[in-house]
Structure 1
Amino acid sequence: MKKLSYIAILLGSATLLPSCQDQLDLQPISQTVVGGDGTGTAGSSITNAATAEAALAGCYAIFKTSSAEYYVMDYYIMADGRSDNSYAGADNAAWFEVDEFRILSTNAVAARDWRYLYNHIASANSIIANVPKVTDASLSADRKAQMVGEAKFIRARAYFDLVRLYGDIPLVVDELPTITSSNVAEIYGQLYPASSTADAVYTQIIKDLDEAATVVPKTGPDKMTVTPGAVYTLLAKVHATKKDWEKVKANTDKVIGLGYALLPNFEELWDGKHENSAEAIFELNFTDWATGGNWGTGMFYGTDWKKFNTPSNDLVKAYDDEKDVVRKASTIFTADVSGKWSDKYWPLTKFPFAYKMRNGDGSQNIIMYRLADVLLLKAEALNETGDLAGAKTLLNQVRTRAKLAPNTSADQPSLRLAIEKERRLELAFEGQRWYDLVRTGRAIPAMQTVKDGNGNSLNYSLNEAKLLLPIPQGEIDKNENLKQNLGY
C-alpha cells in the first residue's frame, strides 16, 4: 500500500510540475527535471551541437546558480564549522545543531545539501547519457568525449561530497525516461533506489575519474574548466580517503607534472588581483550578480550582521603557536563590533571573521583545488610509505612561502601530525579540515581537545555515529528503500 501511495502521489503531482515543484518537492533524486514541453527528460533537449554545449554550460553554471547555496556557503561550514577551525556563527539554529553535533534527521541544512548535490548529479547524468547520441556533424567525436568527461568529473565531485557527508547513499548514474502511468510501477525501484554501500560509491567515483582523465580538455579559457589537473587532484583526494597511498603519489605526481606553481605570496591567492593563477587547478569564476555572483563573501565577512564560520579560539591559537603571521593575516580579519551583537566565544572589541572570501561585489572567485593542497597530499603519502625526507621537502616548500622555518620532525608519527597541522593552517576556510580529520581517524580526539578562549573544554558530544550526517527524514518519507544512519 505504501508503494502504491507513492505512485499515486507521483502521478498526481506530474501535472503540477514544475510550477509547484518548490512547494511539493516530490520529484525523486533519480529523475532529472522533465523537458520544457513536459514530454521528455532534461536530456531530451540535447539534440545538436548547440544544445549539447548549452547543457554542459548549464551543468557548470549549477556551481554558481541553482546549487550555489551549497557551493558558496554550506560546503565551507560543513568542513570548517564542524571542525575545530570555526564555530557556526550567525544565529541559525540548524547550523548550531551541525556545529555542536546535535543534528537531527529533520535538519534543514542536511536536507538541502542532499538535494543540491543530487541536482548537480542529475544534470551531469543527462549529459553523459545524451551527448554521445548526438549526430550533428559539427560536434566531433573528440568534443563529445570531452563533454562526457567533464560531466563525469562533476558527477564524481558531487558523489565524493555526498558519500563523505552521508555514508551509504543511492547511486544514480542513469537518466530515466519520462514517468507515465504505464511505466511507473516497472521503474519504481529506479525512481526510489536503495542506498549503495560507500565502497560502491567510491568505486563509481574512481571509474568516472579514470575515464575522464584522458579525454577532458587539456586547457580552457579559465580555471573553471575541468582539465586533467582537476581530475588527478580529485583522484588523489579520493585515494587518500581510501588510504591507497601509492595511487595518491601517482596522481599527485601527474598534477605536479602539469606545470602548476605556487604563487610567491600567500596573500595573492585572496586579494582578487591574481585569479586563475598558476597555483589554481580548479576555480569557480564569478563576474557579477547578473551571471551568478559570489554572495558567499557576505555570509562570512562583514560587520553589518553576525556572519557564519566564526574562526575558533583553537584556530587562532594554532596560528599564534606556529608564529604563522603570513597565513593568519590572509585567513582571519578582526574588527570591533561592540554593540552589534553578542557572542559567547569572543570579545566584541576584537571579533574574528573568515577572510579568504572578502570582495563584496560578487566577483570574487573560489579556488576549489590548488597546488599547495596537492603538495601536502603527496607529502602525506610519502610519509605514510616511509619516505620522510621526501615528505619534509614538500612540506617545507609550503612552509617557506609562509616564511616559516623548515620542519625537523624525526619520525613518522610526528611528521604525520606536522603535515596535518600544515594542511590546517594552509587550507583553513577552503572546505578541507573536517574531511582531513575524519579520513585520518583524528576527528574525535581532535574535537575532544577543543577549548574556548579561557581554556575551558567545549565538551563536544562526538562519537563514531555523528561523523556522518543523518539521511534527511524527508527523503526517507519519500523513499521507503532508504535506511537511516546509525545514531539518528
Structure 2
Amino acid sequence: MKQSLFRLLLVAQVAATLGLGACSDLLEPTPVQQLPDDKAITDAGSARAAAIGTYDRVQAYYQLNWPVLGFLPGENVRFNGTLNQFLQIDQNQLSADNVLITEAWTQMYQAVNGANNLIAALPGINDPMLPAAEKNQLLGEAHFLRALVYFDLGRGWGGVPLVLTPTRSKENGKALKRSTRAQTYDQVLADLTQAETLLPDAATRNRAVKAAARALRARLHLYRQQYAEAETYATQVIGSANYRLVTPYRAFSTAPFLSQESVFELTFSNSDANSMWNNWFPSALGGQFNFQPVPATIAQLNDPAVGGSRSALLASTVIAGANVTYGNLYSRSAQRDDPSYVLRLAEQYLIRAEARARQAKLPEAIADLNTVRTRAGVGPTSATTAEQLLLAIENERKVEFAFEADRWFDLVRTGRAGTVLGVTDQRRWVFPIPFNDLVADPDLEQNPGY
C-alpha cells in the first residue's frame, strides 16, 4: 500500500535534515524531537547538507513526473506504450489513484518540508563557520524552492494545503484545509519577495540567485494576469549581463550545460543520474521510446519557417529499414547528466512579449517575439494585431518549449485547453488530489469532477 503524504513528509524531514534522499530503512521514521542533536540542523555543515537535500527533493519531481505532466497532456507528444498511468495523462482522463500524480504530489510536499526545515532552523544557528551572507543565501534558497514548489502545485492542482512549518509528526499536516489558488499564489509571491532580498546577485545557474527569483516572479505574474508586473520582472532578468540567448539553439542544452541562457536548472551527474533520455530514445539506442513526438510536431520543428534551428530537438535513426524520429532534448545516454530545465531566458522574452501585447504595446511585443525567432533562424512574425500576436506568441512557446513542462499549463492558463485540445470540461484543467491523501485526511477536499 502506498504511504500517505503526511507519513512520507516524516521521511522527508529526516532526509532533509541529513541531506539524503528517502530510502527503505526510513519507512518507520522518528519524529524530529527524538533525533539526536547531531542530526538536527544546528550548524554550518548540517545547514548546507539540508539545503542540498532540499534541492534533491525538487530534482526528484522535475526529473520525470513534472515534465510529463507538462508536455504529455498537450498535443506535441504521445505516449508510445501501454502503462495506464501515462495513458491517462496523454488522454486527459486522470484518476485520483494515478501513480504519477501520487508520486509528484508526494515529492513536492517532501521538497516543501525540506524548505520549511531550513526556514525554521537557520535563524537560530550561531556558528562562526556560517557567516551572515551564507546564512542569508541558504535562507533565500529555501524561500525560492518553496515558492517554486507551491507555484507548481498551484498551477497543477489549484488551491492546495499551505504547509509552512516543519512536519515533525504524522499529525502535523492533518486538518489543514486547502487554500484557494489565489492564496497559494499569494504565498508564492511572499516567498519570492523574501528570497529576492536574501539571495546574492550572482550568475550561478544551478542554485537560486536574485535573477531566478525575478524570473519565477515574472512567470507568476503572467499566470495571474498581472501584465505590468510580469513585464517589469522579465525586463530585470533580460537586462542582466549574466544572461543571453545562445546560438545555435541547441547550445543551451549541450554539455557542459549551465549556458548563459539558463536562469535556473537542476543538474545531474553519472552518479546522480537523469534517466529521462531513456523515455525518449528508441529501443535500438537503448531506450524505451515511451514518449514520441507526434507527426504534426515533427513537421513543425523540421519546417525552416517555423522550427528553424529548433529541429535539433529531433533526431532520427533507421530501425528495420524504416526511419524513426525521436525527441532529442535529453540526449546524454552515456553520461546521464542532462539537466532539468526550469527557467530559461527565452521564456523571459516570451513572457515580456505576451505581457506587452496584452497591454497594447504591440511594437515592443513584436520585437521580443522576433528576438526569440531570430535566435532560432526564423523570419520575423507577420502578426500585426493584438489577437494575431497573442496567437503567434502561443505558437512560438509551443515550438520553443516543445518537450519541456510548458504546453499544457499554457493552454490552461489562457483558457484555450478546450479549443486546442478538446478538453472542454474545465474541471479537468486541474489534476486530482491523490486518493491516498484523501483517505489519510478527511479534511482534504477533492477537486470537483474526480
Q: Quick check: 1:87–1:311 contact (8 Å CA) kept in 2?
A: yes
Matched, 1:247 2:226: no
**Distance of 1:320 and 1:60 partners within structure 2:** 36
- TM-aligned CA distance change 1:86 to 1:178, over 3 Å: closer
Matched, 1:419 2:393: yes
**Distance of 1:390 and 1:174 partners within structure 2:** 43
Q: Quick check: 1:79–1:435 contact (8 Å CA) kept in 2?
A: yes
Match of 1:229 in 2: 211
CA deviation profile, 1:44-94 (whole Å, cap 9, x unmatched)? 711111111111121122244xx2xx3111222111111011112233111
Matched, 1:408 2:372: no
Matched, 1:127 2:122: no
Deviation at 1:428, TM superposition (A): 1.0
Matched, 1:383 2:348: no
Match of 1:205 in 2: 188
Matched, 1:399 2:395: no
CA deviation profile, 1:107-132 (whole Å, cap 9, x unmatched)? 11111111011111111110011111
Structure number with bigger Rg: 1
Match of 2:430 in 1: 468
Q: Quick check: 1:80–1:309 contact (8 Å CA) kept in 2?
A: no
Q: Quick check: 1:262–1:372 contact (8 Å CA) kept in 2?
A: yes
2:198 partner SS:
coil
Provide structure 2 residue ranges, at least 5 long, that are not aligned to the other structure. 19-28
Match of 1:59 in 2: 54
Deviation at 1:173, TM superposition (A): 0.7
Calculate the TM-score normalised by the size of structure 1.
0.83
Provide structure 1 residue ranges, at least 5 long, that are not aligned to the other structure. 1-21, 339-347, 449-460
**Distance of 1:120 and 1:147 partners within structure 2:** 15
Letter in 1 for 2:278: G
Match of 1:144 in 2: 135
Q: Following superposition of structure 1 onto structure 2, how do residues 82-481 of structure 1 map, counting pairs within 5 Å? A: 82-178=73-169, 190-219=173-202, 222-259=204-241, 260-273=243-256, 275-288=257-270, 290=271, 292-303=272-283, 304-319=286-301, 323-338=305-320, 349-360=322-333, 361-448=335-422, 462-481=424-443
Letter in 1 for 2:332: N
Please provide the CA RMSD for this pair.
Answer: 2.3
- TM-aligned CA distance change 1:57 to 1:26, over 3 Å: closer
Q: Quick check: 2:230–2:355 contact (8 Å CA) kept in 1?
A: yes
Letter in 2 for 1:40: V
Deviation at 1:329, TM superposition (A): 2.2
Report the number of matched residues.
430
Deviation at 1:272, TM superposition (A): 2.1
Q: Quick check: 1:29–1:115 contact (8 Å CA) kept in 2?
A: yes
Deviation at 1:320, TM superposition (A): 5.0
Match of 1:27 in 2: 6
- TM-aligned CA distance change 1:443 to 1:327, over 3 Å: farther
**Distance of 2:131 and 2:278 partners within structure 1:** 42
Deviation at 1:323, TM superposition (A): 2.8
1:413 partner SS:
helix
**Distance of 1:322 and 1:167 partners within structure 2:** 38
CA deviation profile, 1:433-470 (whole Å, cap 9, x unmatched)? 1111111111110113xxxxxxxxxxxx5420111111
**Distance of 2:438 and 2:51 partners within structure 1:** 31
**Distance of 1:207 and 1:297 partners within structure 2:** 36
Q: Quick check: 1:272–1:365 contact (8 Å CA) kept in 2?
A: no
Task: Using the aligned pairs only, state the percent identity.
Answer: 27
Q: Quick check: 1:73–1:299 contact (8 Å CA) kept in 2?
A: no
**Distance of 2:440 and 2:2 partners within structure 1:** 14
Match of 1:4 in 2: none
1:351 partner SS:
strand
**Distance of 2:343 and 2:46 partners within structure 1:** 29
**Distance of 2:43 and 2:310 partners within structure 1:** 50
Moved over 4 A (4+): 22-26, 28-32, 34-37, 41-44, 176-179
Deviation at 1:305, TM superposition (A): 4.7
Deviation at 1:271, TM superposition (A): 3.0
**Distance of 1:442 and 1:317 partners within structure 2:** 22
- TM-aligned CA distance change 1:39 to 1:368, over 3 Å: closer
Matched, 1:38 2:30: yes
Deviation at 1:401, TM superposition (A): 1.5
CA deviation profile, 1:148-174 (whole Å, cap 9, x unmatched)? 110111111111111111112111011
1:333 partner SS:
strand
Q: Quick check: 1:88–1:96 contact (8 Å CA) kept in 2?
A: yes
